[in-house]
Amino acid sequence: MADSKKKLKVKKLTIGGLVYALLFFGASEQFEGSDSDNKCGGEELWEQKVLIDDSAALINTQSEITSINKINAIPTEDEKRTKKKPRLSFEKQVVTVENVLIRKVILEDDNDYHLVVQDRMGNHLIAEITDPECEDAQRSDFIDDYFKVREMMEKHAEDFQHWEFDITGVLFKDRSHGQTGKADNNIEIHPVLKLKAVKLLNF
């Protein structure tokens, strides 16, 4: 009986390793992209993206543990952004997704790191790591978090695909413009406030 349980456990681990291998097949374990204009910062909804907008004070910083699947199921078409309502209701919440995979890291022209994040079931979304050296970002109350997250990501520049991470950040709905790894409802974790490597994968 003990032997059969042991074999079953080994079988499950093997299947799990195969799933991870399939998820990572063909993905490059190095940062992609480049900064073509040598400038940091963006334009569209930039204040919301670096948490310096007036409504940033309304964000619930008590992190809610959730999943990529649940985030992807949020109905984002029910609310419209206006001048009087620049931050949507779900953009006032800090969330944490646990034990997720980082498939890609892309350096964008605004100097953010664009992460393609995926769970074990293949659900995915984008998470963005702010450039803490950017002048606008340094006006944010979360600037210390930006430095720590950026440092952690760069620490794992050459092995990030061999780790599971916990990622904490603010929900944000971006405009669809062909982003790599975007969720169908265009929700991202933007910006990332905490990044923790929690499990080294062996496959």
Sequence spans of domains, the chain: 28-200
pLDDT at position 109 is 85
Q: Which fold has domain 28-200?
A: OB fold (Dihydrolipoamide Acetyltransferase, E2P) (2.40.50)
pLDDT at 31: 85
Residue 149 backbone zone (phi > 0: left; psi -120 to 50: alpha; other: beta): alpha
Q: What is the identity of the amino acid at 55? A: S
The DSSP H or E segment spanning 61 is strand 60-66
Quick one: pLDDT at residue 8?
A: 40
The model carries a pTM of: 0.85
d(CA 116, CA 104): 5
Query: What is the structure's pLDDT at 17?
Result: 47
Residue type present at position 22: L
DSSP 176: P
Token couple for 192: 């990332």
Q: How many CB atoms lie within 10 A of CB 48?
A: 22
**CB of 88 closer than 8 Å to CB of 173:** yes
User: Which stretches in the chain have pLDDT values below 50?
Assistant: 2-18, 25-26
